[in-house]
Amino acid sequence: MATVEQREESTSTGARLPDMARFIDFLEARKAETENPRHAAMIDLLIEHSVAEVRDHDIDRTMATLVEDCVYHNYGDPAAIARNGGPVAYRDAVRANYLESMANGSLDMDGLEVEVDHFFISDEAIAWDGYVRLRLPGAALAEAGVPLPDGGTADDVFVLTARPAVVIPFRDGLMVGEDFYLDGQGTWEKVA
């Protein structure tokens, strides 16, 4: 489990950029530890989903990891709920949200990072909690009406660190969607 000291990786001049490769490495290590072939296949699919969406920006591969009637639920953060088109998103909205995030750079390897504190897997689901780090330009924050951290300008880049819990149900070897709980109380820090 990560400690506060491990989580506080900012430099004296600001936050470091997120690195999604850390999450992929974590999943690979968990897959190597499991002796359950079903669980290994579920982790493999989550790795494929993450790589397709964040590294490769391949919408068809991303959507291929999901059941046809996929559904995403968002809880806890009114801004995230509004940004995702409501508390529930079905396949067309999920696809549109992924395409928008791929286009605006929030789903880049240095734009998103997942740090896992607790990881659970059963035959029906994968769940984890921890921290998510998201890189956003100051101009995008200002446009969205988000107050910039002290001393920040629209020309700066910021990293949001927030605490989520995610439940990913599976059916017939595919992800059913995601239930995403976000504390909504994240902290912003200017990138070095």
| Degrees to nearest 5, angle at CA 116 with 63 and 169 | 40
- The H or E element spanning position 92 is helix 91-104
User: What is the model's pLDDT at position 84?
Assistant: 67
Residue 11 has pLDDT above 70, yes or no: no
User: What is the model's pLDDT at position 187?
Assistant: 87
| 113 three-class SS | strand
List, in order, residues 6 or more apart from 90 with CB less than 8 Å away: 69, 70, 71
DSSP sequence for 12-28: TTBBPPP-THHHHHHHH
| 146 three-class SS | coil
DSSP for residue 2? -
User: What is the model's pLDDT at position 2?
Assistant: 42
Q: What is the pLDDT of residues 92-104, one digit of tens each?
A: 999 998 998 888 8
Place of tokens 């988000």: 146
Q: Closest by alpha carbon to 170, among 124, 127, 128? A: 124
User: What is the model's pLDDT at position 25?
Assistant: 97
pLDDT band at 13; cut points 50, 70, 90:
low
pLDDT band at 26; cut points 50, 70, 90:
very high
Question: How far lies 84's CA from each of 2, 77, 89, in Å?
Answer: 29, 11, 7
pLDDT band at 3; cut points 50, 70, 90:
very low
Q: Mean pLDDT, the chain, as a whole number?
A: 88
User: pTM (2 decimals)?
Assistant: 0.86
List, in order, residues 6 or more apart from 61 with CB less than 8 Å away: 48, 52
List, in order, residues 6 or more apart from 1 with CB less than 8 Å away: 117, 118
